[in-house]
Structure 1
Amino acid sequence: MTKQQIALETMPPQYTDWLIELKQRIHTAQQRASLRVNQELVLLYWQIGQDILTRQAQQGWGAKVIERLAHDLRTAFPKMKGFSPRNLKYMRTFAEAWPDLEFVQQAVAQLPWGHNLVLLDKFNNTEMRTWYAQKTIENNWSRNVLVMQIESGLLERQGAAVTNFEATLPKPNSDLARESIKDPYRFDFLDLTDEAQEREIEHALVQHVTQFLLELGAGFAFVGRQVLLQVGEEEFFIDLLFYHLKLRCYVVIELKAGKFKPEHLGQLGFYMIAVDKQVKAEPDNATIGLLLCKSKDKVVAEYALGDKTQPMGIAEYKLVESLPENLKTNLPSIEQIERELQGDKA
């Protein structure tokens, strides 16, 4: 037995719990310190950008000033990265994009500089930048996830499914449920062809459940695949069952490899009733159903939902989809930007 093991054996019974608590406190403090450093850096960049804008506007300074400033700052602070001409131009663009210091302090400064560069590169629209910035903060997206969400058109897809939530759910649950459902869902991470069948897609989704949950969005928790329900003398199996932590309800997802048909909702509704009777606990809200199909006629979907009293949504899924031309950019990639920031200080 080592001296460390002997020492631990002589500790009071509460020592282990106290040590765990201390470790958590230290970890939290480290995170806060890191966040604070990032906020100060982003605010510094904003202030530098504002200074450049002001002097160029009021005193007519040209682009050569940025080149000279980059040289002088890197000479004065040789160990500090981020003073390349390219990054100084980004600071100017950043200050121009977010002229409100209070908003920068409260929201944008919570994002790492790399995230802000993504927003600057991808959008000229303040509203879209703001929406993605807020979603990134809410969901703690990494930079790569932010890029993926932008390139997949999350803003345009979120809340776009055909649903009857407004008529079947009380507010504010109806609004939250509607915003939780997209159209279409992108499953191109599965590497399946358009000819894939329901069980093949379902199996692949479970194999890639982390990416599937990311595509579903915040709040979804995976419960199971092919969940057995015993009704009378027969057995039935739900394709995919989730629980939504914010809505506090189960979500039944059924996959259809073909075009939407109104009769699909009958099967989905049956499963929802069975979940409400056999799975749902007393505090849970009514189960929501989501039918994912390869294609749909929007008018047919709206008619099919017209007389349904259960909360349901209908959305398409895409297995393979190339990035639309209007989302492609000739602007430098994040990797190119990082190489520039870490470049020679000459």
Structure 2
Amino acid sequence: MKPIEQQKLFRSVQELIEKAQQNIVRNINLIMVATHFQIGHMIIEDEQGGQTYAAYGSATMRKLSEHLTTSFGRGYSVDNLELMRVFYLEYRNSESLSRISQIGHTNSESLIRNLATEFALSWTHYVRLLKIKDRNERKFYELEAVTNNWSVRELQRQVNSSYYERLALSRDKEGMRKLAQEGQLLEKSTDILKSPVILEFLDLKEDNRYSENDLETAIINKLEHFMLELGKGFLFEGRQRRISLDGNHFWVDLVFYNRLLNCFVLIDLKIGRLSHQDIGQMQMYVNYYDRKIKKADERPTLGIILCKEDNKAVVEFTLPLNNEQIFSKEYKLFLPSKEELKKQLE
């Protein structure tokens, strides 16, 4: 067999095994979620048999935990059984979960195969989601986790960084309703904006000793994290892209392309308070890309100035009233207080 044919065979076998492994993991997750959903259902049905929940929780739940732990080992503590109970209560109207609960009663193999493509969250994801009390917020994170294939760690990070609240601050009431029902949809340029942008993963100290070059280098070193923080559809085009005008040279700190918005996104980094010179410079960058770089079928270029301290009055009177291309956003090197963001929303 020729080397090229060997490599083709090796790749085909490897892809087959990887696909099989992925299916096994997906099926295990589905069955675990289905089982816990049904256990929660059974507990609720038994609880509604006449006993008060106080008596039920202190007696039957404990005995059930002891019985299951003896039979199956760890994983069936009273706290975990309570999670299954709450899981059923919160998701009993979910069409997908109702279908999953049929596993074991119908053609399980066929049902799992049909559900695997539409239902991707593990039990560990749901344990984290159940800690979110606000149902609109929980639904948002659930949709985003499925759409973006978030790991549990990434879901935890997005919740901790108040992703939902930061997006909601940039929207009206109708936009907030859509967030909860449809997740983050990029229909217009402002849909990508969060307030503020959180860069805690850069591990830079909250002081004045780092330079703009330090900030840029830290972002490049953790580019994947930064692109996740920016949002959906971002592709990295380059750093320090030069613009030459009549012998003068200027450099755009970071250039991205957003395939969902179909436009270039230019980012300038400022470690101090935003000035009107910063806005004028970004206006020049955006104009240059619109006139020299972008294609006719692409949308207008977006310019985002990431600054340590925003200046809304300067932005308001420097840019035109109908501005939809240039935005300033504060960045934070620490996770924000969820309580403070919620107060701003209210």
Q: Which of structures 1 and 2 has the larger relative contact order (alpha carbons within 8 angstroms, sep 6+)?
A: 1
* Correspondence for 2:135 among 111, 126, 133: 126
* Correspondence for 1:192 among 201, 205, 209: 205
Partner of 2:190: 178
Partner of 2:180: none
In the TM superposition, residue 226 of structure 1 has moved relative to its aligned partner by 1.3
Residue by residue over 1:193-222, the C-alpha shift from the partner in whole angstroms, topping out at 9 and shown as x without a partner, is: 332332332222222222222211222222
Between stretches 140-149 and 281-290, larger displacement belongs to 281-290
| 1:1-346 matches, cutoff 5 A | 10-11=1-2, 13-60=4-51, 62-63=56-57, 64-78=59-73, 81-104=74-97, 105=100, 110-121=120-131, 123-158=132-167, 160=169, 175-190=187-202, 191-195=204-208, 196-281=210-295, 283-298=297-312, 300-307=314-321, 311-321=325-335, 323=337
Counterparts of 1:322 and 1:179 in 2: how far apart (Å)?
Answer: 20
In the TM superposition, residue 283 of structure 1 has moved relative to its aligned partner by 4.8
Where structure 2 has 5 or more consecutive residues not aligned to the other structure, the ranges are 101-114, 172-183, 342-346
Contact 1:183 1:316 in 2 (8 A): yes
The CA RMSD over aligned residues, in Å, is 2.9
Counterparts of 1:237 and 1:222 in 2: how far apart (Å)?
Answer: 16
Please report the TM-score for the alignment, with normalisation by the length of structure 2. Answer: 0.78
Where structure 1 has 5 or more consecutive residues not aligned to the other structure, the ranges are 1-9, 163-171, 328-346
Residue by residue over 1:46-99, the C-alpha shift from the partner in whole angstroms, topping out at 9 and shown as x without a partner, is: 111111112212331612111111222233335xx4222221111011112212
Runs of 4+ in structure 1 displaced over 6 angstroms? none
Residue by residue over 1:159-186, the C-alpha shift from the partner in whole angstroms, topping out at 9 and shown as x without a partner, is: 6459xxxxxxxxx997343221211011
Between stretches 69-78 and 208-217, larger displacement belongs to 69-78
Describe the shift of the 1:97–1:288 C-alpha distance in structure 2 as closer, same or farther (beyond 3 A): same
Structure 1 letter corresponding to 2:150:
W
Percent of aligned positions that are identical: 29
Please report the TM-score for the alignment, with normalisation by the length of structure 1. Answer: 0.78
Structure 2 letter corresponding to 1:258:
G
Contact 1:115 1:143 in 2 (8 A): yes
Counterparts of 1:109 and 1:179 in 2: how far apart (Å)?
Answer: 26
Q: State the number of aligned residues.
A: 306
Counterparts of 1:239 and 1:300 in 2: how far apart (Å)?
Answer: 22
Counterparts of 1:37 and 1:209 in 2: how far apart (Å)?
Answer: 32
